[in-house]
Amino acid sequence: MNESDVRQRWSAGEPCHGLWSLLPGVVSAEMLARTGADYVVVDLQHGAATEADVPGVAAAIRAAGAVPLVRTRSSLFADVGRPLDLGAGGVIVPNVRNAEHAREIVAATQYAPAGGRSIGRLSGGADEPLVIVMVETATALEDLDAILGVPGLDGIYVGPGDLSLSLDLTGEGRSGELRGVLSAIIARAVAAGVPIGVHAYNGDDAARFAAEGARIVTVAVDTVSLGEAMAHHLGVARTPPAHPAQ
């Protein structure tokens, strides 16, 4: 799986399934990629990995057959281009305000004359990296149709947590309203022919988003899944068997 394969799948209306990593290190990244994931996202915004980890982690993910994506630390010009120089096959950029901001981000991923990215790629990476912006603010939602029309954008990715904060939909009983907003965003992206993903923490939620048309399908987050699995096994071990051995 490479960046071209991902674009072809999305263009054909087919989903790509991936995993999200908050843990640092080559070993954990390679383990995630070897599960059969199409992509693995290394989270520099909220995860424990740093830019210094990106070359080795990206190489391990690619060697295991998946596309290494990076959620950048921020939407600043330098933070967008730096992971691409260090081996990322694409970026997922947070905190996008509107279409004009999205155009600036696309330009930060492209060399002149199309954009303003500086030549200096150090390790691996892609000649035409995947460019995905996050819709997680009220202003981005208000300008969604224009964002969907930005040239050079490969997709949008919805962050339900921050979007719920921005829309003031975090109170008790507001989950249904938020779910309606997410469904509407998916429908608008599908109608525009733009690949969309909604951040999910488990396969059930990811499958529901995919059934509505999401093509960027994040299935799980490593720290969440690891914690759930360990808690489950501890619970099993601490539960007396129904029929003790004789």
| 243 located within any domain | no
- For residue 231, count other CB atoms closer than 10 A to its CB: 10
* 231 inside domain: yes
Q: Is 70 part of any domain?
A: yes
Q: Which range marks the domain in which residue 133 is found?
A: 3-238
Alpha carbon separation from 30 to 82, 152, 199 (Å, rounded): 21, 29, 21
Q: Which residues of 24-47 are buried (b: 16+ CB within 10 A; e: fewer)?
A: bebebbbbbbeeebbbbbbbbbeb
Sign of the C-alpha dihedral computed for residues 142, 146, 149 and 150 taken in this order:
negative
- How far is the C-alpha of 54 from the C-alpha of 39, rounded, in Å? 15
Please give the distance of CA 180 from its chain centroid, rounded to a whole number: 21
The pLDDT value given to residue 174: 87
Which H or E run contains 161?
helix 160-166
Is position 147 within any domain? yes
Alpha helices in 172-221 (DSSP H): 175-192, 203-211
Whole-number Å distance between alpha carbons of 114 and 191: 27
Helices 99-108, 77-85: inter-axial angle, 10-degree rounding: 40
CATH number for 146: 3.20.20.60
Domain assignment of residue 21, yes or no? yes
ω before 113 within 30° of 0 (cis)? yes
pLDDT given for residue 9 in this prediction:
98
Residue 28 lies in a domain: yes
Contact in structure between 39 and 70 (CB atoms under 8 Å): no
The reported pLDDT for the residue numbered 245 is 61
pLDDT less than 70: residues of the chain: 244-246
Q: Looking at this protein, which amino acid is placed at residue 214? A: A
Question: Residue 244: what pLDDT?
Answer: 65
174 within a domain of the structure (yes/no)? yes
Residue 246 lies in a domain: no
Q: Given this model, what pLDDT does residue 136 score?
A: 97
pLDDT of 12-58, one tens digit each?
Answer: 999 999 999 999 999 999 999 999 999 999 999 999 999 999 999 99
Query: Are the C-beta atoms of residues 114 and 151 closer than 8 Å to each other?
Result: no
Q: Which residues are designated catalytic?
A: 46
Total domains in the fold of the chain? 1
Which run of H or of E encompasses 156? strand 155-158
Q: Give the per-residue pLDDT at 241.
A: 84
Residue found under tokens 């509505």: 212
